[in-house]
Amino acid sequence: MAAKSFNLTFDGYWRESNISGLPEKSGIYGAYACTYDATAKAVDPKRLLYVGEAADINGRIANHDKWGLWRSKVLYGEQLCFNAALITGADDRQRAEAAEIFKHKPPCNTNYVDSFPFDQTSISNGGRAALLVPRFAVYRTEVAAKAYRWI
């Protein structure tokens, strides 16, 4: 496997009330805790909760098994919102998703938080990419055994 770069342009933000507008195309997506200003019609992402990938972003989010977990992370006055970047190819989606998770460590993700099983991967995030580092690279890691201290 060789080094690879991705230029991701995120669209969004879709609030829970309008997720039917999410693309029915392949890519990666982020779930956020957001506030919404109805007067300005503006979303303000507060925390990145989860990063995922799907062949059909719309269908995946609409039927996701993590809705309960995401909602449990939303504070009073906040709501869920989503962004999405289109990527074709399952291998590319998985690699870009893994890089975003490894770099940002969203609290609702479990895979790729502590290890990155791909060769060097460079990401450039643009568009509606709140709370995502604009440019970064991650490198293959070995899965480290967790150290436990017994008292």
Report, as an integer, the average pLDDT of 6-23.
Answer: 96
Query: Are the C-beta atoms of 34 and 45 separated by less than 8 Å?
Result: yes
The answer to whether residue 69 scores a pLDDT higher than 60 is yes
Q: Would you call 63 exposed, middle or buried from its count of C-beta atoms within 10 A (0-12, 13-18, 19+)?
A: exposed
Average pLDDT of the segment spanning 3-11: 98
CA distance 15 to 1: 37
Percent of the chain topping pLDDT 90: 93
Residue 143 in any domain: the answer is no
Report the C-alpha gap between 105 and 99 in whole angstroms: 10
Strand ranges across the sheet with 121-127: 42-54, 27-37, 79-86, 4-15, 121-127, 135-138
CB 28 within 8 A of CB 85: yes
* pLDDT for residue 141: 93
pLDDT of residue 148: 45
Write the pLDDT tens digit of every residue in 85-140.
999 999 999 999 999 999 999 999 999 999 999 999 999 999 999 999 999 999 99
Average per-residue pLDDT in the chain? 94
Between residues 150 and 124, which one has the greater pLDDT?
124
In a domain, 128, yes or no: yes
Boundaries of domain holding 117: 4-138
Residue 142 is predicted with a pLDDT of: 73
pTM: 0.92
| CATH number of the domain encompassing residue 10 | 3.40.1440.10
Query: Where do the H-state alpha helices sit in the chain?
Result: 57-62, 67-72, 90-104
* Tokens 């300005």 -> residue: 40
Q: Is residue 146 part of a domain?
A: no
CA dist 25 to 6, 28, 54, 58, Å? 17, 10, 8, 8
How many domains are contained in the chain?
Answer: 1
- Residue 145: what pLDDT? 45
Does the residue 151 lie in any domain?
no
Residue 53 maps to a domain: yes
